[in-house]
Chain A
């Protein structure tokens, strides 16, 4: 069996088991209403985590994601409320800025040979600082477009509401799956994660691929910022603090190897859903501090890293030679 599938199956099994246990305690959690909220509440995290999946698959890390989300919400708020642009125009500008930002980080990582950890850490400070310079205070967004979007939803059987941002997240995951597994760019991402030296010798355009990976991650962080803005109707420089770490956790819990090369975008979806499940459970319980979410996620993360070591560090089983001659 494909080695990428094993950790994914483990995550899926744990998710199903945890969901069944939660339903046994709180039968209401089985409704599509809860599911709808699940998708809405985690939309920005899910979208950012798709970008993070590509980065980690290639063997890198992107610490700037949360800061880019925060910056984007402020930029959109400024453009809509102070400049007076239509939100759609503001979204386009914000996405373009985020894309350029990511391209710059990717170029620095490749051409200056600086580890992605350092470059994106600098990017994180830069984006967070720029957001504060734009506006240190929270800016509320009042616009008819925001009202319309937040009132729009698809009704699911059972009365659950699939919001616009929830749909956006699902579409981003679908696109991510297609890009990762069905395009040359996707195969290059895995190639870089497998071995950059081999990839270069095999003709992978390493420079272009690296720049594109970080461009993709930042653009999706920008899109997550758009979703966050729609979700909270406000722009604030301290929005989405630490979301990059939640995204990394979702990716790793979803079965992607932190050292790159192995993993599936679909796994990240389950990773995000598992985090959402823990949050929802704690809300249902009502007596637990919300910090328990972090503790459970931490424990899960630790467990999955152990699991990955067991699954991956074991010497690969070598097949016997099957010669036809």
Chain B
């Protein structure tokens, strides 16, 4: 191994993890030193959480090995990892809201005498421990009576007390305000000075640059790079997270010049407090508007607002120049909108139902209770769309959960096409689909555009966004920060806009 790995506290070598046919991690190596904060970056599905679960014993790797202070280890479960010195703090505080702070710190390790817990001793010890984190609170109070920031620090204190070598922080700042984040960072810096190795997972780039010493970037289950943060720029990091090979993809940008038809949907000042800042956008017939931005930048929230899943509290929506009200998905469907959500398994497919039933369900919902589609119509409809979208299923009566990810995605597309929509929202249409099938989804999107549909497509795959978008809007910090057209629809321009550099050039 390299000299860098030689002094590693915790090290992963050539980790492979396979779920079904999907390679969640492919030959990923990672080394954490003592006394460093090491950030782990990547979009959803990049493999961050899979890697963490392997390092903390929640999963077992299908290949490669984990070494702790040079010795190979194999953890049975997170508790086993904890007893070897690896503690984890999750985004959702995994403590007991109904018990006291002191009990949360020492549950399972309370000192006892004749089987009775020595409460005074525990409380004194808890006060002492929390004091080292600059926290002076009544440790007898219920945990839930304190702010999330304090709960987070109690969770960290517990992890450090019980493990003490490696601390894994999984999105610890997601629900904290600016002041609280700063306090948390102070705590993390103190622990770093005490010689702990800290793995820090977040999707806030500024926090990575403020806190971490090194960063490892994952994409599609592969390690892209490990860099010292002092030596890279935000743009470099964004490029590594999103772009495949920026220079290579330039030939895909010819599309932006194509003409498109009349406006089909307009959003004027649409917004929702705490979700997305008001944005104005018009989508034309036969046009694909791509949406780029990092995880948590407000991309999905934008789509949810458009489709009425979260009602907007400002702005209005116009269709063919006429104002419409969309406050729930049923109204959106009635207005001719379709929405393929990001998490197909959770929000999209009905796994137990057949391919045919999954395709006709939106149309049936639109028709209502009293106009049931008869079986022949159903079979005809399913057959037509399965052929049009090239859905590969042995037959259309098999449960849709048995299909591959790409074919499931096409079933959801077929479902929305069956209602004859005028505007289709796709959130990460290629997520969790074999890389080989990506091109096919991209082709399908292009064909729908040629047929005159207006599309709004969210994606973290920049080369794909560029391949099908006439225009690209860029989201950052829950705001639409740029709208790129023409020659600007290119991966490097998008990366710049996301990173917030040379804004003067790209802001419309």
A140 to chain B, nearest CB (A): 41
Interface 9-residue window, one of B7-15, B108-116, B331-339: B108-116
B135 CB–A CB distance under 8 Å: yes
Option from B98, B117, B147 in Cβ contact (under 8 Å) with A261: B98
A322 CB–B CB distance under 8 Å: yes
Residue of B nearest to A3 (CB): B142
Residue of B nearest to A192 (CB): B96
CB pair A202–B107 under 8 Å, yes or no, is yes
Residues of B with C-beta under 8 A to A191? 96, 99, 107
Residues of A with C-beta under 8 A to B150? 319, 321
Option from B158, B183, B186 in Cβ contact (under 8 Å) with A321: B183
A206 to chain B, nearest CB (A): 11
CB pair B99–A195 under 8 Å, yes or no, is no
CB pair A197–B96 under 8 Å, yes or no, is no
B27 CB–A CB distance under 8 Å: no
CB pair B135–A323 under 8 Å, yes or no, is yes
Q: Known interface pairs A203-B79, A324-B135. Does A198 touch B95 (Cβ–Cβ under 8 Å)? A: yes
Residue of B nearest to A184 (CB): B110
A325 CB–B CB distance under 8 Å: yes
B45-103 CB contacts (< 8 Å) to partner A: 78-79, 82, 94-99, 103
CB pair B116–A187 under 8 Å, yes or no, is no
Option from A2, A202, A316, A324 in Cβ contact (under 8 Å) with B134: A324
Residues of A with C-beta under 8 A to B141? 2, 319
CB pair B95–A202 under 8 Å, yes or no, is yes
Residue of A nearest to B106 (CB): A187
A173-224 CB contacts (< 8 Å) to partner B: 178, 182-184, 187-188, 190-191, 193-195, 197-199, 201-204
A317 CB–B CB distance under 8 Å: yes
B477 CB–A CB distance under 8 Å: no
Proximity string of chain B (363-375) to chain A, C-beta cutoff 8 Å, 1 when within and 0 when not? 0000000000000
CB pair B147–A183 under 8 Å, yes or no, is no
CA distance A204 to B104 in the complex (A): 12
CA distance A259 to B27 in the complex (A): 45
Residue of B nearest to A320 (CB): B147
CB pair B186–A193 under 8 Å, yes or no, is no
Residue of B nearest to A186 (CB): B117
A262 CB–B CB distance under 8 Å: yes
Q: Please tell me the number of chain A residues within 8 Å of chain B, measured between CB atoms.
A: 32
A318 CB–B CB distance under 8 Å: yes
B180 CB–A CB distance under 8 Å: yes
Residue of A nearest to B186 (CB): A325
CB pair A183–B115 under 8 Å, yes or no, is yes
CA distance A3 to B140 in the complex (A): 12
B145 CB–A CB distance under 8 Å: yes
Residue of B nearest to A185 (CB): B115
CB pair B146–A202 under 8 Å, yes or no, is no
Residues of A with C-beta under 8 A to B96? 190-191, 194-195, 198-199, 202, 261
CA distance A103 to B56 in the complex (A): 33
B476 to chain A, nearest CB (A): 29
Residue of A nearest to B97 (CB): A194
Q: Known interface pairs A203-B107, A321-B150. Does A262 touch B98 (Cβ–Cβ under 8 Å)? A: yes
With most chain A CB atoms within 10 A of its CB, the pick from B116, B119, B158 is: B116
A135 to chain B, nearest CB (A): 40
B220 to chain A, nearest CB (A): 29
Residue of B nearest to A325 (CB): B134
With most chain B CB atoms within 10 A of its CB, the pick from A182, A190, A323, A324 is: A323
Option from A194, A197, A317 in Cβ contact (under 8 Å) with B98: A194
B121 CB–A CB distance under 8 Å: no
Residues of A with C-beta under 8 A to B145? 316-319
Q: Known interface pairs A184-B112, A191-B107. Does A321 touch B94 (Cβ–Cβ under 8 Å)? A: no
Residue of A nearest to B115 (CB): A183
B437 CB–A CB distance under 8 Å: no
Residues of B with C-beta under 8 A to A193? 98
CB pair B107–A182 under 8 Å, yes or no, is no
CB pair A202–B135 under 8 Å, yes or no, is no
Question: Majority SS of interface residues in chain A?
Answer: loop
Residues of A with C-beta under 8 A to B107? 187-188, 191, 202-204
A209 to chain B, nearest CB (A): 11
B262 CB–A CB distance under 8 Å: no
Residues of A with C-beta under 8 A to B144? 316
CB pair A321–B147 under 8 Å, yes or no, is yes
Proximity string of chain B (17-56) to chain A, C-beta cutoff 8 Å, 1 when within and 0 when not? 0000000000000000000000000000000000000000
With most chain B CB atoms within 10 A of its CB, the pick from A2, A198, A318 is: A198
Proximity string of chain B (142-170) to chain A, C-beta cutoff 8 Å, 1 when within and 0 when not? 10111101100000001000000000000
B124 CB–A CB distance under 8 Å: no
CB pair B134–A201 under 8 Å, yes or no, is no
Residues of A with C-beta under 8 A to B97? 194-195, 261, 316
Q: Known interface pairs A317-B145, A323-B135, A325-B186. Does A183 touch B98 (Cβ–Cβ under 8 Å)? A: no
B187 to chain A, nearest CB (A): 10
CB pair B142–A2 under 8 Å, yes or no, is yes
Residue of B nearest to A204 (CB): B108
Residue of A nearest to B103 (CB): A187
With most chain B CB atoms within 10 A of its CB, the pick from A193, A197, A322 is: A322
Option from A187, A203, A318 in Cβ contact (under 8 Å) with B117: A187
Option from A188, A195, A201, A319 in Cβ contact (under 8 Å) with B78: A201
CA distance A178 to B94 in the complex (A): 27
CA distance A91 to B128 in the complex (A): 49
CA distance A323 to B107 in the complex (A): 24
B257 CB–A CB distance under 8 Å: no
B450 CB–A CB distance under 8 Å: no
Residues of B with C-beta under 8 A to A195? 94, 96-97
B439 CB–A CB distance under 8 Å: no
With most chain A CB atoms within 10 A of its CB, the pick from B108, B134, B135 is: B108
B313-359 CB contacts (< 8 Å) to partner A: none
CA distance A306 to B110 in the complex (A): 35
Option from B78, B79, B117 in Cβ contact (under 8 Å) with A182: B117
A214 to chain B, nearest CB (A): 21
Option from B79, B82, B110, B146 in Cβ contact (under 8 Å) with A319: B146
CA distance A187 to B144 in the complex (A): 16
Residues of B with C-beta under 8 A to A204? 107-108
B282 CB–A CB distance under 8 Å: no
B253 to chain A, nearest CB (A): 47
CA distance A3 to B145 in the complex (A): 10
List 11 contacting pairs A-B, 8 Å CB cutoff, sorted by A. Answer: A182-B119, A183-B112, A183-B117, A184-B108, A188-B107, A193-B98, A198-B95, A202-B96, A203-B79, A204-B107, A322-B137
17 more A-B contacts (CB under 8 A) besides A182-B117, A322-B136?
A2-B142, A3-B142, A182-B116, A183-B117, A191-B99, A194-B98, A197-B94, A198-B96, A202-B94, A202-B96, A261-B96, A319-B145, A319-B150, A321-B147, A321-B150, A323-B134, A325-B134
User: What are the nearest 4 A-B pairs in CB distance?
Assistant: A325-B134, A194-B96, A261-B98, A194-B98
